[in-house]
Amino acid sequence: MKQVTYEEYQVAKSEILFDAEHRETTSPCECGCGLIMKMYISEKNGTFYEIDDGGAIEFWTDKHPSSRYYQYLQQR
């Protein structure tokens, strides 16, 4: 899984949300691990998926299905 910067995470998210109406859904992750999955759904641009584990966000989109990882807390 590719690790990316905050800016790359924002670019991927804006690719779906820019200039499009969207709706946001939040649901438990299907893996049963207790994490929450968010989806930002745009009929015009597709869907942005993210799972936040409390220190990093794994995300992917319909346009770019390869999973990417943005770590926002330093591991000690």
**Structural domain boundaries in the chain:** 2-71
Residue 32: per-residue pLDDT:
78
User: Among the listed ranges 2-6, 46-50, 53-57, 59-63, which one has the minimum average pLDDT value?
Assistant: 53-57
Contact of 5 with 11, CB cutoff 8 Å: no
Residue 70: per-residue pLDDT:
95
- Alpha carbon distance 18, 44 (integer Å): 10
Contact of 61 with 73, CB cutoff 8 Å: no
Report the predicted TM-score, pTM, of the whole model to 2 decimal places.
0.85
Residue 74: per-residue pLDDT:
64
Residue 15: per-residue pLDDT:
95
- Alpha carbon distance 69, 3 (integer Å): 5
Tell me which residue has tokens 């990316």.
4
Amino acid at 8: E
Q: Which residue has the higher pLDDT, 34 or 66?
A: 66
Tell me which residue has tokens 């794994």.
58
pLDDT of 19-58, one tens digit each?
999 999 999 888 778 788 999 999 999 999 999 988 899 9
